[in-house]
């Protein structure tokens, strides 16, 4: 099973920005990286009018578009798939997966906390939080990194999950 | 292996429009339907600025977004995947797959031909063409349907691939 680390935090804490820095840092080190985002709303990935959009909105259960460089897929599901199901079926060809969100799943979590936006972190010690990335010093029982220090956080991810 | 039918034809012949009619017609009959589009260009399925767009453009090899209703994925590939690879990995949970394009693949093909736009069909008898959907009568050795008669074409697909 591919190791999974969840990047969690309250809304607007900077989860996407941190992931956006971690991915190239991990890629630079030679790892293949997957990213999974939890969506609680109704996302619309495709562009209205495109052929794939028309196929999907005509009722197709799954649509795929494939080129020599990449492929994309949309699939209707009967229920929210778990992280493990998504990784096993669709992201099994990478070295590590970062998820954005999925606080309630049981994967190890790095919390992003910005005191400029929120007064307290999201997680408690029961949330399997393995590190905190924050803009201020916080008294926590796990390693703490500066929110902008993607190199140190990538070091931590590498040591914890990739060089065991 | 899920049966695959390729809807082929010259540019602007009406392939997407026919697929858009066939999908609900097949769904109405109780079948699960997948659609695969061949892209020769550089498609951009996602919307600039969205989290998944940022993950992918940060260099992720695969990005996924997952909700309770659907999931979407983009994956970098080293080469164009074949129809069989796409079906086996990503569209193996349907009763039939319609592809848009893939004239050079070896799947059975229904050609869409509009005399209002082109002077001659795309396929020859060597292209594994099993039917023609056209706006005029054409002398061909395979069943011919009117381009707008999605019910008759769905009947043909059902008889040929789904009720064997």
Residue A93 lies in a domain: yes
Distance from the Cα of residue B154 to its chain's centroid: 14
Residue A72 lies in a domain: no
Residue A51 lies in a domain: no
Residue B82 lies in a domain: yes
Nearest CA in chain B to A79: B68
Q: Tell me the shortest Cα–Cα distance from B136 to chain A, in angstroms.
A: 25
Residue A133 lies in a domain: yes
Contacts of residue B54 in chain A, CB cutoff 8 Å?
A: 16, 19-20
Residue A52, token pair as written in the block: 């794939």
Residue A157 lies in a domain: yes
- Which DSSP state fits B30? T
Q: Residue A40 has what pLDDT?
A: 80
Question: CB within 8 A of B94, min separation 6: which ones?
Answer: A61, A62, B2, B31, B32, B33, B34
Contacts of residue A41 in chain B, CB cutoff 8 Å?
A: 67
Q: Does A142 touch chain B (CB under 8 A)?
A: no
Q: Does B74 touch chain A (CB under 8 A)?
A: yes
Q: Tell me the shortest Cα–Cα distance from A12 to chain B, in angstroms.
A: 12
Query: Would you call A39 exposed, middle or buried from its count of C-beta atoms within 10 A (0-12, 13-18, 19+)?
Result: buried
Q: Tell me the shortest Cα–Cα distance from B79 to chain A, in angstroms.
A: 5
pLDDT band at A126 (very low <50, low <70, confident <90, very high): confident
SS3 B157: helix
Residue B37: beta bridge partners?
A65, B100
Nearest CA in chain A to B19: A55
Query: Comparing A21 with B163, which gets the higher pLDDT?
Result: A21
**Among the listed residues A33, A32, A39, A59, the one whose alpha carbon sits nearest the alpha carbon of residue A100:** A39
Of the CA atoms within 13 Å of residue B64, those in its CB half-sphere come to 30
* Predicted TM-score (pTM) of this structure: 0.94
For residue B119, what is the domain's CATH number? 3.40.50.300
Residues A53-70: tens digit of each pLDDT: 999 999 999 999 999 999
List C-alpha distances in Å: A31 to A2, A93, A108: 12, 11, 19
Q: Residue A29 has what pLDDT?
A: 97
Reduced 3-state DSSP string for A64-119: EEECCCEEEEEEECCCCCCHHHHHHHHCCCCCEEEEECCCCCCCCEEEEECCCCCC
Residues A142-159: tens digit of each pLDDT: 999 999 999 999 999 999
Task: Enumerate residues 18 to 57 of chain B having a beta carbon within 8 A of any beta carbon in chain A.
Answer: 19-21, 23-24, 27, 32-43, 45-47, 50-52, 54-56
Domain count along chain A: 1
List C-alpha distances in Å: B128 to A67, B24, B45, B132, B141: 23, 25, 31, 11, 11
Residue A36 lies in a domain: yes
Residue B149 lies in a domain: yes
Q: Residue A105 has what pLDDT?
A: 94
- Note whether A86 contacts B80, CB cutoff 8 Å: no
Q: Residue B164 has what pLDDT?
A: 64
Residue environment code for B26-63, b if the CB has 16+ CB neighbours within 10 A, otherwise e: bbeeebbbbbbbbbeeebebbeeebbbbbbbebbbbbb
Nearest CA in chain B to A85: B66
- Note whether B100 contacts A51, CB cutoff 8 Å: yes
Please report, to the nearest 10 degrees, the dihedral formed by the alpha carbons of residues A131, A137, A139, A144 taken in order: 20
Residue B115, token pair as written in the block: 């005399």
- Residue B34 belongs to what domain range? 4-43+78-162
Pair type for strands A129-134 and A144-146? parallel
Distance CA B13, CA A92 (A): 39
pLDDT tens by residue, chain B, 164 residues? 899 999 999 999 999 999 999 999 999 999 999 999 998 878 988 999 999 999 999 999 999 999 999 999 999 999 999 999 999 999 999 999 999 999 999 999 999 999 999 999 999 878 899 999 999 999 999 999 999 999 999 999 999 999 86
């Amino acid at each position: 099973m591919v190791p999974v680390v969840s990047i969690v935090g309250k809304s607007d804490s900077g989860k996407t920005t941190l992931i956006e820095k971690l991915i190239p840092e991990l890629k630079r080190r030679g790892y293949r990286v997957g990213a999974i985002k939890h969506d609680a709303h109704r996302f619309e990935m495709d562009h209205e009018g495109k052929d794939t959009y028309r196929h999907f909105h005509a009722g197709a259960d799954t649509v795929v578009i494939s080129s020599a460089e990449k492929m994309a897929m949309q699939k209707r599901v009967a229920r929210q798939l778990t992280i493990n199901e998504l990784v096993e079926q669709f992201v099994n060809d990478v070295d590590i997966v970062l998820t954005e969100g999925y606080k309630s799943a049981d994967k190890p979590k790095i919390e992003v906390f910005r005191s400029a936006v929120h007064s307290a972190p999201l997680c408690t010690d029961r949330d399997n939080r393995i590190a905190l990335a924050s803009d201020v010093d916080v008294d926590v029982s796990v390693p703490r990194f500066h929110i902008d220090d993607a190199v140190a956080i990538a070091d931590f991810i590498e040591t914890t999950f990739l060089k065991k």
